[in-house]
Amino acid sequence: MTHGIAKAQGPERIAGEWWHEGASPPTRDYYLVRDEAGHRFWLYREGLYARETASPRWFVHGLFA
**pTM score, two decimals?**
0.80
Q: Note the pLDDT tens digit of each residue in 35-49.
A: 999 999 999 999 888
> If 0-12 CB within 10 Å is exposed, 13-18 middle and 19+ buried, where does residue 64 land?
exposed
DSSP result, 6-65 = EEEEEEEEE---TTS-S--PPPEEEEEEEETTS-EEEEEEES-BTTTBSS-EEEEEEEE-
Q: Note the pLDDT tens digit of each residue in 3-57.
A: 999 999 999 998 777 777 777 788 899 999 999 999 999 999 998 888 888 899 9
> pLDDT confidence of 64, banded at 50, 70, 90?
very high
